[in-house]
Structure 1
Amino acid sequence: MERAIDRLDWPSIEAQLNEEGCAVLPGVLDDGLIAELLSLSSAWETTRLGVIEDLRKHLYERLVPTANHWHAVRDVADRYPATLDQWTAHVRGVSDDRIPPIFTRLRVDEHEALHQYGERAHAFPLQLVAVLNEPGTDFNGGEFVLTEQRPRMQSRPIVLPLRRGDLGVIAVAHRPHKGAKGYYRVSLKHAISRVRSGERIGLELLLDDAQ
């Protein structure tokens, strides 16, 4: 898994996150990990999976430069530490409850409404999403959709083209956008469109320990 993450084009991913607030990491989840995730009976059980913690730690280290860049361009003084363990130690005693992986299991005509997880103290500004079965084979529809709201403009829709085994990185709630007069904050929410056939199994994973 770490080699799959390390071989990705991270300068390109960082540029895409700065421009769009989302990016696809192709082929990070292998068949064994996907099978293990699908076999779990509840999201709570996944907190005992060491591989989930390894995933969070490794992706945190890759994404923390983007998170700190977003703070810097908006003149936010705080910076995130280099490792997830350091960040956990920093917020421990303030927010002790870890949010476990969030599974979605959507059947025909079901969808997931627009939402975000950013209204939390000590929230890391980026999170992971995945689809654990194959679009076009196991289900149709169920596209992962983001909407971006810029001041005095209509919402902008974005479709994240996830395949089985991919990880998506998205802004949890807000990101900086460079306008004519400098950077300003834009708001993002995400959703899953209506499933037209089959069953869609998805996963959301936060990278912080905030409540």
Structure 2
Amino acid sequence: MTSPATPLDTLDWTAIAAQLDSEGYALVPRAVAPDHARALAREAGASGALHRVALDSVDLGRGDLFYFGASLPQPLPQWRAAFYRRLAHVANRWNETLNIAYRYPAELDEFLEHNRQAGQTQAQSHLNRLRADDYLGLHQRSHGEHVFPLQVVALLSEPGQDFTGGELVLTEQRPRMQSRPMVVPLARGDAAIIATGQRPFKGSSGYYRVNLRHAISRVREGERIGMELSFHDAPEASRNQHKFAQDA
């Protein structure tokens, strides 16, 4: 399996941080190489090592999630750690802005050790497979004492060729305002860095927290396969964490 298409060192992280601050998401075009995307997509439902969860069983739509568990296929472990290393700076700045005392360690392994000490051992990174009329409802992965405020969502199928519909949708709820919907256009291999749950937003009276959730709209035709990389684990008892996170 090849490396991701876009070396993270070549990205404009200043611009990415600015977009995360203003919009709650940032697009990384061609983040995953085409052959890597195809190889990952074939793993959806093809490997007994992946734990399958039907979305209707957790009241979160229609389709399937396939959890990687503790062992991500290569080269995703290095890619995930490299993303974390750069995003930890944004996460710490957000915590400082919101007067949250916790500071994220510089390296992912140390942060995951904090997770384990807090009883968070349920890995959350997964593939999702949606076929005609399937969808993933609005949710957020915000369980546990130590929640990393950013995650990576990637598309492994080709829009218009492998499927139609199936857009990545974000909604942001600001206090005393209507929810703000956003549709993030993804091509095969593109990734979006999105806020996991809450992020700071600067209003007229200073900074306050806004709440973000994400979804995938109904697939009209074909099969859509995507991937989500989470940087924190969920509490072990929260196998149905999606059900609780919908109304977070």
State TM-score, norm by structure 1.
0.93
Partner of 1:178: 202
Distance in 2, matches of 1:34 and 1:95, equals 33
Q: 1:143 aligns with which of 167, 172, 176?
A: 167
Residue type of the partner of 2:41?
L
Cα drift, residue 72 of structure 1: 0.8
Q: Secondary structure at the match of 2:117?
A: coil
Task: Work out which structure has the larger RCO, using CA pairs closer than 8 Å and 6 or more positions apart in sequence.
Answer: 1
Q: Residues 146 and 48 of structure 1: is their aligned pair in 2 closer, same or farther, counting only changes over 3 Å?
A: closer
Shift of 1:45: 5.0
Contact 2:41 2:226 in 1 (8 A): no
Aligned to 2:244: none
Matched residue count? 211
**Secondary structure at the counterpart of residue 137 of structure 2:** strand
Label 1:167 to 1:184 Cα distance change in 2 as closer, same or farther (>3 A). Answer: same
Structure 2 regions of 5+ residues with no counterpart? Answer: 51-65, 236-248
Q: State the shift of 1:186 in Å.
A: 0.5
Structure 1: gaps (5+ residues) = none
**d(CA) in 2 for partners of 1:77, 1:100:** 25
The answer on 1:126 being equivalent to 2:150 is yes
SS of corresponding position for 1:163: coil
For residue 192 of structure 1, what is the aligned residue in structure 2?
216
Paired residue type of 1:30: A
Amino acid at match of 1:81: P
Deviation of 1:39 after TM superposition, in Å, equals: 2.6
Indicate the residue corresponding to 1:32 in structure 2.
35
CA contact (8 A) 1:121 1:210 kept: no
Q: 1:83 aligns with which of 103, 107, 111?
A: 107
Q: Distance in 2 between matches of 1:45 and 1:105?
A: 14
Sequence identity (%) = 47
The answer on whether the counterparts of 1:105 and 1:202 sit within 8 Å (CA) in structure 2 is: yes
Picking from 184, 187, 194, the partner of 1:163 is 187
Residues 200 and 75 of structure 1: CA distance in aligned 2, closer, same or farther (over 3 Å): same
Matching residue's letter, 1:204: E
CA–CA distance in 1 between the matches of 2:199 and 2:120?
25
Deviations along 1:37-77, whole A, 9 cap, x unmatched? Answer: 12322335572423121111000011111101100111112
Is 1:72 equivalent to 2:103 in the alignment? Answer: no
Instruction: Work out the CA distance in 2 between the residues paired with 1:31 and 1:126.
Output: 24
- Give the drift of 1:131: 1.1
CA distance in 1, matches of 2:15, 2:67: 34
**TM-score, structure 2 length as denominator?**
0.80
Deviation track 1:142-194 (CA, whole Å, cap 9, x = no partner) reads 10000000011000001111111111111111101001111000001111111
Residue 15 of structure 2 corresponds to residue 12 of structure 1:
yes
Cα distance, 1:210 vs. partner? 3.7
Instruction: Quote the RMSD (CA, aligned, Å).
Output: 1.7
- 1:54 corresponds in structure 2 to 78
Deviations 1:5-52 (A, max 9, x none): 111111110000001111111111112322331232233557242312
Moved over 3 A (4+): 43-46
How far apart, CA to CA, are the structure 1 residues paired with 2:154 and 2:109?
24
Q: Secondary structure at the match of 1:85?
A: helix
Does the residue aligned with 1:86 lie in a helix, a strand or coil?
helix
Q: Name the SS for the 1:33 alignment partner.
A: helix
